[in-house]
Structure formats: C-alpha cells, structure tokens
Chains A and B, each alone.
Chain A
Amino acid sequence: MKRREFIHIGMGAAAALAAGDIPALAAGKPGKAGRRPKTLVIGIDGLDPHLTQVWMKQGRLPALQKLVASGGMRRLGTSLPPQSPVAWSDFIAGMGPGGHGIYDFIHRDPQTYMPIFSATETQGGGRTFRLGKYVFPLSGGQVVNMRDGRAFWQVLEDHGVPAVIVRMPSNYPPVPTRQRTFSGMGTPDIKGSYGIFNYYTNAYRELDREAGGGGRVHEVYVIGNRVEASIPGPVNTFLKDAPEARADFRVFIDRDHPVAKIAVQGQEFILKEKEWSGWIRVNFDLIPTQSVSGICRFYLKELRPKFKLYVSPVHIDPARPALPLSTPPSYARELSDQFGSFFTKGLPADTSALENGVLDETEFLEQDEDILRESLELFEYELNRFNEGLFFYYFSNADQRQHMFWRFLDRNHPSYDPDLAERYHDVIADTYVQMDRAVDTALRKADKDTVVMVMSDHGFNPFRRGFNLNSWLLDSGYHRLTDSRKRAETSLFMDTDWSRTQAYGVGLNSLYINEKGREREGTVAPGADKDRLIREIADRLESIVDPATGERPILRAYVSRDVYTGKHLDSAPDIVVGFNQGYRIAWESPLGGFPEEVLTDNREKWSGDHMSSPEVIPGILAMNRPIPAEAPKLKDVTVSILDLYGIGPDEDMTGRSVFHKE
C-alpha cells in the first residue's frame, strides 16, 4: 500500500469512527475513504426508462424491482447527441463532448469534407522498403483511440482501487492501464470495419442497405455438388498494391440430403440447412512469416434450390489478437483459454444482414441469442471472481434488438407487419427480461456492502420518419451542387460546389458551416457572419413542420457554442440537430446524399432509434442506494463512482456526484 493511500484510508476511518458512522463505513458511504466498497455497474445499452417502468409494473422485471426497492431509480440524462459513442464517452471521462472530443459516430475532415470514424484513427507505418512484390514497413502503424480525458478506471488505478472493465464502448483500443479491461463497441472486425458479413450464393443480388455495418455478396457456382469460395480478410500491406488476404474454403453438398460438409484450412464441419456453426478459426497469410488470425461463424441458409451461405464478419481472434483487445494483452488470451473462441467485434449482432434480408428475424435472433449466451458466461465468470474494487460489464443486445424490432411494437410504424408482429412483438420485452435475469445474477452475488448500479446510455423511440438534412440545406439554398439534376444520384458530396456552399451535414446529428480558414473551400467568415448564419439555420430547422404529421421533426437545433464547453470545442459541429420523437436523420443524409424528398417514411427494418433531442430519450440509473440527485446525467455517474471511494473528480471532469442533492 502506498504511503499516501495509507494516510488517506487511515484518516477516513478515524473520521468515521469519531463520528460514530460505522455502518456507513462498512457500507461504503460516498465521500468516505474507509473500507472500500465493492461497486458493480451493469451497463445496458439502450435500456429505456418508459418501457422498463411499464414492464416493472407488470412484474416482468423482478430483479430490477428489487434493486429499485432497495435504493432508487432515476431517469438518466443522456449525452448531446444521444449516440452511444458519445454517451459512453461522457460516462468514461465524466465530461461532455467538448471535453472528450467525440461528437458523433461520424466526424468529417474539414480539408476533404469526407466522413471519418470519430472513435479511432488508423495511423499507417512510415517509410517502407520494397523487395520485388513485397513491401516491408520500416516502422509500425497503429490504431489510436481518439477519445480524450482520463477514463475513470485510470483514476481509480491512481488511487489503488482495482477495476475490471469488460466491453466498455468507446474504449478501442483500450486505454493504457494495469486494470483488466476488454474493449467493446468500436472494436472492429478483422478488416478494420464495423463488421462486414459475406454471403455466398448462386442467386446473386446487390445489397442495398447499410445498417450498422455492411456486407458483400459473392456469386458462386455449384459444380458437382461442390462450391469453392474464399473469405476476404485484411488488406495485405506486405504486398505491392495491397490486395485483400483471403482464406479459401470448400463446401461439399450431399446429393440428396439437405446437409453439407465445409472444409476451411484443414478444419472440417458439417451443417444441416438452417444451422449455425460454432466459431471457426481462419488464418490470413500475409507473407511466409506473418499471418492474421480471425474467427467467424457459418450459417447454411439454403442448399436447394438455391445455394445460400452466410459467413459472419470475421472477428479478431482473442487467442491471437491481431489488434489490441485488452489490457493487459494477456487478458484476451486468458479469456480465450477459459471459453475458447468468443465474439470480439464491438456490436456483434449483424443488423446489416437482417436489414438486407440475408438473415431473417429468426436467424438474426438465433445469432444474437448466442451472443447473449457468450456474454452472460463471461459476465458470470468475472462476477464469480469479483471480490474487490469495481466491476463494469456491458450488454449490447437490448440496443440492437430495439433498433431492429421496434416496428413490431408500433402499429403506426411504416414497416409494421401484422403477421410478423404476431411472432415478434414480444422480442423486446423478452430481451428486457433477459437483462433482468443478468441483474438477478448480480444481486445474488452482491453482498450488502456492494453498490449495484444498472445504467443505460439512452432510451429508445420509434424511427418512423427520416429527415434529409442535406436535402433541406440544398432546398433552402445553404448548399449548392454543380449540377442539381444529379442530386438523387450523388453521395459523399461528389457534386457539391463548395465555393458557393454555406453549410453541410455529416454524421447523424451534426451540421457544419463551411467556414473560411477551417474548411478547405470555406465561404463563411468566422465571427459575426458565421454566428448569424448558425442562428438563422437553427431557427429555421426548429420551425420546420412535417406536412404528413403536422409535427416538428426537429425539436431543438443546438448551437454548439451554447451547449458545449471544453478544449475540443473547435472540432465540434456548429449545430447539433435534436430530433423529435419518431424522427431521425434519413438514411442518405449522413454520408452526403441529397434525395429529392426532405421528409420520408422509414420503411426499413431498422425501426427504433435514439438520435433525438436528449430530453426525449433519457437513459436509466437504478441502484441499491438512494439517489438524492433528481436529474442525474451520465457524466455524474462517473463522478459518483469515484465518490464511493472518496476520490474527487479529475480536474477536467464536469460531472457531479449523484449522492449529493443538486
């Protein structure tokens, strides 16, 4: 024990004893640095307070009911905007986007106007050395976590409080620490993307939907009851022109039975139609001495009359991580030794495959049930050895299923299907029940000194109508195309006339002014001109009325200078669009598209969302301790956790402890 720590604990204990506050000491009352409490935080992405309360009243969530009865529950103020990477960054760093610098899933490069991932940046190796077809880097590349601010478990580490942080979103690559951490949402697949599935079929068709990832369709031929194909892997930068590395496989189909043998790199397994494989390890050879290992699952959707084989995105192999997954690095291998292969990609449910009809609802749920089973096994494993400090565990299933199955809760949704609704209307409720069982497991393990928190980053609401921000900017004269006849086909601002453009939208809630000196071809002078334009656009956005519903699609257009503080204010969007309930940014707009219609029905399976104004979709905070703060926010939970150990907030943190009345 460090000297400072000893004095700290000793003083806290003496103070508590002098005050006769022994029970509080034992229970780890906030602000006391005596005996350290154990803190268990269960993060459930997208757990909605309204639905939670409804199903609690119906008695379907007994563990949450018990938790709340022993402490309290509050609606938890979410981030602006309420997107998961932003919200979890608020929680990790105890500050808003102005402090940690994550404003949206997608940022933009002001020099190219191109969208870029907000959470990570891949920095390639420097100089290379070429020998024939081979290219050897003389220095290594790296992936950089773009979130700023110290993570709360780093602060805990400074004070000697052990923490285990499993699948924390917005923590890829995991920040340096001696604590055991495993990365969550934001962890890419082996190709470095959010997740690209592969679909092998002789009934070729284009994929036309992007929803939380992507996919590739490979046209294959069944010759002599045999199919030969390959799985695309990472780009092989050791070779000239950097081709994709590939892993070949063969499928042998029985002449009569609906069954096939699949052979991949010396591994063989049999699948019946409509059956999933376990995790299959695939190696992508780069050069004779270098290969990258990944894991994926096969699903044999159909053999006859058409051949249809789905292969999940290739996850980073936790046994041989090609990219950093954990701290210490050996933690990923330890878990692999314990469980074998398990999912490592950030959001493992393949929403894109469901959106594109490659998987149907049942197949998607089968996959997600396996994900949940793996997740619960890891949760229980860590729970069983949790005996000091803090343990955080994150579940993604509720968020992903609400995105895809909300249409079955909402009869007014454009993609509501009564037949499908009959089969799937309980999926979301059942998922909440499954989450409740995880809470129950935690409560059974927790002793009376353990502070148990259940929290979500935001709630949910229907996504019935889409608002094309860029189309509106174009129609309103703030954006210009070189040839407006091309507006329906253009994407990624390919036909934008930047010399006459004043504003553009990139990402899910972000609007940027084309500012002189900041953007490559900026047109609006910073200062009064820009401020006037921002106010004008914000006012006009808030006054839009949807003729189809009579509602305002945009509840509030936030001017970033009014709502953000911190050292990353310069990279903030100029306006953050806060949508009204039922509305969200339309599909084409975030990546620079300009469809004809500004407001459109959302007829996709991706039918629930959370891009609204924060007051529309708060998250939840439930705890087995009273919560005096009446309107806590995500960043307040961070400071509250530190408070439980008698640790004050880090200097950049702007949250306040929920254990004190506001």
Chain B
Amino acid sequence: MQMINAAAVSIFDFAFRPFLKLSPWAGLAAAALLTAVFMLFIFRWTSNQAGVKAAKNRIKAHLLEMRLYKEQPAVIFRAQGRILLANLKYMGHNMRPLAVMIIPLVFILAHLNTRFGYEALETGEPFLIKVLTAETTALPSAMDLRLDVPEGVVVETPPVRIDDEREVVWRLKAGKPGKSAITVRAGSASIEKSLAAGVSPLSGIFPRKMRKSILDQFLYPGDPPLDRASPVRRVEIAYPAARMNLFGWNMHWIIPYFVLSLIFGFALKGPFKVEI
C-alpha cells in the first residue's frame, strides 16, 4: 500500500504541476474531467450496455403508456409496476461498474482531499503539531518527546502533555515558505512529518501520519506510515480546512467536484458512446 500511495502521490504531483499557480477551480475542473472520463471508461467496459439501453427504453415505453392510457387505471397501475421492475433492472446493470469503480474512486477522493481539502500553513501564522502516543508506552509526561525543526520553523511553546488523551501538542510557526519536515524524537525513535507552508495546496497537504494499517493508509496517503512498533501512533499538523469559493459562497470541494464530474460525464457519454 505504501508503494501504491507513493506512486499515486508522484502521479498527482505530476498531473497538478501545471495548475499550481492557477485558481484551484482549474485543477478541480481538470480532476473532475479526468474522473468523468475514467468513470465512463469503466462503465463502458463493465456494464451490460445492451441491458442498460433496454431497461431505459422499457421505462420510457411505460411512461408513454401511462400518458396514452391515462383514463384506464388498470393499465396505469400495471405500467407503474413495470416501470419499477425496469428501474430495478437498470440499477442491477449499474451494480457491476459501481463495484469496480468504488475502490479506485475512494482512493482518488482520498488523494484529491490532500490537494483540495486543506490550506497550506501561512508563513508567520502559528500552528499546532500533535503527537498521539501508543497505549503500550509510558504516559506522555513520562516520555522523552522532542521536536527537531528545519531552519525557518520556530517552536513557540513547550509541549502540553495530556496524559489521559495520550497527547502531546506544541505550537510552532513557519517563518518561510516551502515544503520541509519536522522530526519527532520519541526516545530512540525518530519520526519525520512533512510540513507545507506558503505553497499551493495542489502540491499536496498531508495532515496526518498514521500507523501502518490498510484503512489508515488508504484514507491518509502522503506521509509514509509509522511502524506498528513505534511509540507514536499518530502525528498530526492542524492545517486549516480549505473551501472552494463560488461567488462568495464557500463550500467543501467535493460538492463542485461531483457536480462537475456529472456534467462532464453527461457531456461526454455521446462521444464515448456510453449508455448510462
């Protein structure tokens, strides 16, 4: 999983490179377009296209039947039942492409979230770094936990150690823009956590470094995972949440992403000869 994530990060880095200095809308539109093409492609090759077409035609035919025979309740009642049946068939034809798409789509969404879900830290603005220790280790206040920070990053406060939450948190400030790494030292263990300040979010913002587990690596790609034996179970930087702004209306990126994907999907289904 680690290798897949690393490869995916490289691909996304490459894909978004032309958009780094543009509005996030440009990158989001490109991502939605590629997603639409990808979904059409999957749908085209995994669905029963003839069956989809037949189910849709049957629905249309029964709708027409209802209009033509609106004075005959028995016919309308029968047509409604058949529409329902055709709908179920149509949904059944969608199951296979959906099953094929769901895992890659969630994988893509998790990666896109690292490009659109967070803002990079602003230089000069304080931020928190939080370390959660493993249940098997000593309490945080009894541990030797330290931070090594790169040039330009300042640790502003001593750690706040919250034993019952197994949490240690510091306030830092990034003095200059760029990507770098903070090293958390826990006894003899040394853990690197990426840091992004004053850069385009499209270059990838990775808020959490998680333990090695399939689900966590799936949901939080970017930083290499922590060993299972590590005294630390999570390192987290509190990046501000990003919002897409549309004429003053701020929204989560996933809303315009899905809307654009649908628009592109319907627009391209003709040229791609896909029945959906």
- Residues of A near any B CB (own CB < 8 A): 224-226, 252-261, 268-270, 272, 333
Hey, which chain A residues are within 8 Å of B126, CB to CB? Answer: 269
Hey, which chain B residues are within 8 Å of A260, CB to CB? Answer: 160
Contact A224 B160 (CB under 8 A): no
Please, how many angstroms separate the alpha-carbon atoms of A359 and B170 in the complex?
26
Contact B128 A254 (CB under 8 A): no
- Point out which of A254, A261, A269, A272 has the most chain B C-beta atoms below 10 A from its C-beta: A261
Which of B156, B161, B248 is within 8 Å of A255, CB to CB?
B161
Hey, which chain B residues are within 8 Å of A261, CB to CB? Answer: 128, 160, 162, 169
Confirm or deny: B136 has a beta carbon within 8 angstroms of a beta carbon on chain A: no
A/B interface sample: 15 pairs, CB < 8 A: A226-B162, A252-B160, A254-B159, A254-B160, A255-B163, A257-B158, A257-B160, A259-B157, A259-B160, A261-B162, A268-B169, A269-B128, A269-B171, A270-B160, A272-B157
Closest B residue to A270 by CB, please name it.
B171
Hey, which chain A residues are within 8 Å of B161, CB to CB? Answer: 254-255
- Point out which of B160, B161, B165, B169 has the most chain A C-beta atoms below 10 A from its C-beta: B160
Confirm or deny: B57 has a beta carbon within 8 angstroms of a beta carbon on chain A: no
Contact A259 B158 (CB under 8 A): yes
Closest B residue to A268 by CB, please name it.
B128
Hey, which chain B residues are within 8 Å of A333, CB to CB? Answer: 248
Contact B128 A270 (CB under 8 A): yes
Residues of A contacting B: mostly: strand
Closest A residue to B169 by CB, please name it.
A261
Contact A270 B141 (CB under 8 A): no
Please, how many angstroms separate the alpha-carbon atoms of A259 and B165 in the complex?
17
Hey, which chain B residues are within 8 Å of A252, CB to CB? Answer: 160, 162, 165
Please, how many angstroms separate the alpha-carbon atoms of A269 and B162 in the complex?
14
Closest B residue to A251 by CB, please name it.
B160
Hey, which chain A residues are within 8 Å of B141, CB to CB? Answer: 255-256
Chain B's interface size range is 10 to 19
Nearest CB in chain A: distance from B236 CB, A: 11
Please, how many angstroms separate the alpha-carbon atoms of A272 and B238 in the complex?
19
Please, how many angstroms separate the alpha-carbon atoms of A260 and B128 in the complex?
12
Contact B238 A270 (CB under 8 A): no
Given A254-B161, A270-B160, output 15 extra A-B contacts at Cβ < 8 Å.
A224-B164, A225-B163, A254-B158, A255-B141, A255-B161, A257-B160, A258-B158, A259-B158, A259-B159, A260-B160, A261-B169, A269-B126, A270-B157, A270-B169, A333-B248
Nearest CB in chain B: distance from A307 CB, A: 15
Q: Are A257 and B169 CB-contacts (below 8 A) given A224-B164, A268-B238? A: no
Please, how many angstroms separate the alpha-carbon atoms of A333 and B248 in the complex?
10
Which of A253, A257, A258, A269 is within 8 Å of B159, CB to CB?
A257
Hey, which chain A residues are within 8 Å of B156, CB to CB? Answer: 270
Please, how many angstroms separate the alpha-carbon atoms of A110 and B158 in the complex?
59
Please, how many angstroms separate the alpha-carbon atoms of A226 and B169 in the complex?
15
Please, how many angstroms separate the alpha-carbon atoms of A211 and B154 in the complex?
40
Hey, which chain B residues are within 8 Å of A259, CB to CB? Answer: 157-160
Please, how many angstroms separate the alpha-carbon atoms of A258 and B157 in the complex?
9
Please, how many angstroms separate the alpha-carbon atoms of A618 and B141 in the complex?
62
Nearest CB in chain B: distance from A260 CB, A: 6
Please, how many angstroms separate the alpha-carbon atoms of A270 and B170 in the complex?
7
Report the 4 A-B pairs with minimum CB-CB distance, sorted nearest first.
A257-B158, A270-B171, A261-B160, A254-B160
Nearest CB in chain B: distance from A228 CB, A: 13
Please, how many angstroms separate the alpha-carbon atoms of A257 and B156 in the complex?
13
Please, how many angstroms separate the alpha-carbon atoms of A131 and B156 in the complex?
51
Hey, which chain B residues are within 8 Å of A224, CB to CB? Answer: 164
Closest A residue to B238 by CB, please name it.
A268
Please, how many angstroms separate the alpha-carbon atoms of A376 and B170 in the complex?
32
Nearest CB in chain A: distance from B138 CB, A: 13
Nearest CB in chain A: distance from B100 CB, A: 37
CB contact list, B119-175 vs A, under 8 A: 126, 128, 141, 156-165, 169-171
Please, how many angstroms separate the alpha-carbon atoms of A226 and B165 in the complex?
11
Nearest CB in chain B: distance from A68 CB, A: 39
Please, how many angstroms separate the alpha-carbon atoms of A74 and B54 in the complex?
90
Please, how many angstroms separate the alpha-carbon atoms of A226 and B141 in the complex?
14
Nearest CB in chain A: distance from B187 CB, A: 19
Please, how many angstroms separate the alpha-carbon atoms of A253 and B159 in the complex?
10
CB contact list, B237-255 vs A, under 8 A: 238, 248
Hey, which chain A residues are within 8 Å of B128, CB to CB? Answer: 261, 268-270
- Point out which of A224, A226, A260, A269 has the most chain B C-beta atoms below 10 A from its C-beta: A269
Nearest CB in chain B: distance from A591 CB, A: 43
Closest B residue to A275 by CB, please name it.
B157
Please, how many angstroms separate the alpha-carbon atoms of A43 and B163 in the complex?
53
Hey, which chain A residues are within 8 Å of B170, CB to CB? Answer: 270
Please, how many angstroms separate the alpha-carbon atoms of A258 and B164 in the complex?
19
Please, how many angstroms separate the alpha-carbon atoms of A317 and B195 in the complex?
31
Please, how many angstroms separate the alpha-carbon atoms of A259 and B170 in the complex?
10
Hey, which chain A residues are within 8 Å of B159, CB to CB? Answer: 254, 257, 259
Nearest CB in chain B: distance from A598 CB, A: 54
Hey, which chain B residues are within 8 Å of A258, CB to CB? Answer: 158
Hey, which chain A residues are within 8 Å of B248, CB to CB? Answer: 333
Please, how many angstroms separate the alpha-carbon atoms of A268 and B128 in the complex?
8
Please, how many angstroms separate the alpha-carbon atoms of A269 and B164 in the complex?
18
Closest B residue to A257 by CB, please name it.
B158
Closest A residue to B245 by CB, please name it.
A337
Nearest CB in chain B: distance from A323 CB, A: 21
Closest B residue to A255 by CB, please name it.
B141
Hey, which chain A residues are within 8 Å of B157, CB to CB? Answer: 257, 259, 270, 272
Nearest CB in chain B: distance from A330 CB, A: 8
Hey, which chain B residues are within 8 Å of A257, CB to CB? Answer: 157-160
Please, how many angstroms separate the alpha-carbon atoms of A252 and B168 in the complex?
11
Nearest CB in chain A: distance from B243 CB, A: 12
Closest B residue to A224 by CB, please name it.
B164
Please, how many angstroms separate the alpha-carbon atoms of A258 and B159 in the complex?
10
Please, how many angstroms separate the alpha-carbon atoms of A610 and B159 in the complex?
49
- Point out which of B159, B165, B238 has the most chain A C-beta atoms below 10 A from its C-beta: B159
Please, how many angstroms separate the alpha-carbon atoms of A260 and B169 in the complex?
10
Please, how many angstroms separate the alpha-carbon atoms of A623 and B136 in the complex?
73
Closest A residue to B172 by CB, please name it.
A270
Hey, which chain A residues are within 8 Å of B171, CB to CB? Answer: 269-270
- Point out which of A258, A260, A270 has the most chain B C-beta atoms below 10 A from its C-beta: A270
- Point out which of B126, B156, B169 has the most chain A C-beta atoms below 10 A from its C-beta: B169
Please, how many angstroms separate the alpha-carbon atoms of A431 and B160 in the complex?
37
Please, how many angstroms separate the alpha-carbon atoms of A259 and B171 in the complex?
10
Nearest CB in chain B: distance from A517 CB, A: 55
Nearest CB in chain B: distance from A227 CB, A: 12
Nearest CB in chain A: distance from B4 CB, A: 32
> What string of 1s and 0s marks CB contacts (under 8 Å) between B75-100 and chain A?
00000000000000000000000000
Closest A residue to B162 by CB, please name it.
A252
Please, how many angstroms separate the alpha-carbon atoms of A256 and B128 in the complex?
19
Nearest CB in chain B: distance from A352 CB, A: 29
Hey, which chain B residues are within 8 Å of A268, CB to CB? Answer: 128, 169, 238
Nearest CB in chain A: distance from B128 CB, A: 6
Closest A residue to B130 by CB, please name it.
A268
